[in-house]
Amino acid sequence: MSFKPAKSLDTISASEVGQWVYCHQAWYLARLGAEHRNQQALIRGVRHHERHGRQVAAAETFRRIALLLMLLASWLLALALFLFLR
Residue spans of the domains in the chain: they are 1-37, 39-86
pTM check: above 0.85: no
User: In 3D, which of 17, 14, 16 has the Cα closest to residue 5?
Assistant: 16
Would you place residue 1 in the very low, low, confident or very high pLDDT band (cuts 50, 70, 90)? very low
What integer pLDDT is reported at residue 4 of this predicted model?
Answer: 57
Query: Is it the case that residue 80 has pLDDT exceeding 50?
Result: yes
Stretch 5-28: mean pLDDT: 78
Percent of the chain whose pLDDT exceeds 70? 90
Q: Is the dihedral of CA 10, 15, 18, 19 positive or negative?
A: negative
Residue 3, pLDDT > 80, answer no
Q: Mean pLDDT over residues 38-65, rounded?
A: 94
Which contacts (CB < 8 Å, 24+ apart) does range 15-24 have?
A: none
Q: What integer best gives the mean pLDDT of the chain?
A: 87
- Give the Cα separation of 45 and 21 in Å (integer): 18
Q: At what angle do helices 14-22 and 24-32 cross, to 10 degrees?
A: 130
